[in-house]
Amino acid sequence: MANPLLYVPPSAVVPALGRLLTLESYPELPSSMLLTLREILVAYALAIAAGVGIGAVLGLHRFVGRAYGPILGALYAVPAVVWYPSLMLFFGLDAASKIAFGFLLGFFPIALAVLAGIRQVSPHMIVVARAFGARPPVVFVKVMLPAMLFTLVGGLRTGLALTVIGVIVGEILGSRAGMGALINHAYGLFRTADYVALVCVTLVLIVGSDAVASLVERRAQRWTE
């Protein structure tokens, strides 16, 4: 017979999910979800700002890109979880460490997508635009951005998925609030049915964010065709 602490049949998960959604088992579910969403939005906004900025600098300045592009790729290859203990020591157990971890995971794919997108833009198009008197900001918006849009949106989608994962994993590894903290609480008390129900709710959050990103990506693809 299966251990009920390790194996939970659907007949136990469905009632647990009902108690969770009616706020019977975890009344703090709405506030925890709002906190997690807020951390994701802040981390993703920071990842976009830093990723687009640094990727543009590396892409527009070829010497700088050749020097630091491989370093960026090497850092991206390092398992991100090794950075979390340092972030937790530096920022503490509050939201800042979760935002920093989500930012760290989301930053690299966005920066590398911007770098790759700029490199695939035809230099002849840039030369022609400059020959007609277009200034660098106009060249970037009118020429480079449409040419690299599909690559950029793909990087933004990957960055969003990793940011969501980073924030939630950060909450599970060490947090006093948020969806990850609720999952960790249920797991630590061997409330396996509640644990599975919380994971299901978190999975809906992850899949929903990826679905929105996928819709934006398809629209960007149609716009570039």
Please give the pLDDT value at position 1: 47
User: Which range among 38-42, 82-86, 148-152, 173-177 has the greatest average pLDDT?
Assistant: 38-42
Please compute the mean of the pLDDT values over residues 36-41 and round it to a whole number. Answer: 90
**Six token digits for residue 71:** 């370093």
Q: What is the mean pLDDT of residues 144-148?
A: 77
Is pLDDT above 50 for 212?
A: yes
Confidence of residue 49 (pLDDT cuts 50, 70, 90): very high
- Helix 179-188 and helix 29-60, axial crossing angle in degrees, nearest 10: 120
User: With contact defined as beta carbons under 8 Å apart, do 37 and 96 qualify?
Assistant: no
DSSP 81: G
Mean pLDDT over 9-21 rounds to 79
Q: How far is CA 115 from CA 18, 66, 68, 153, in A?
A: 46, 11, 11, 13
Q: Write the DSSP string, 129-162.
A: HHHTT--HHHHIIIIIHHHHHHHHHHHHHHHHHH
Q: Which of the four pLDDT bands, split at 50, 70 and 90, describes residue 63? A: confident
Give the residue from 90, 105, 115, 216 showing the smallest Cα distance to 161. Answer: 105
Phi, psi of 189 (to 5 degrees): -95, 5
For residues 206-224, average pLDDT: 75
Q: Which two tokens stand for residue 218?
A: 């398809």
pLDDT at 7: 64
Predicted pLDDT at 50 = 92
Q: Are 198 and 186 a contacting pair, CB within 8 Å?
A: yes
Cβ atoms of 168 and 202 closer than 8 Å: yes
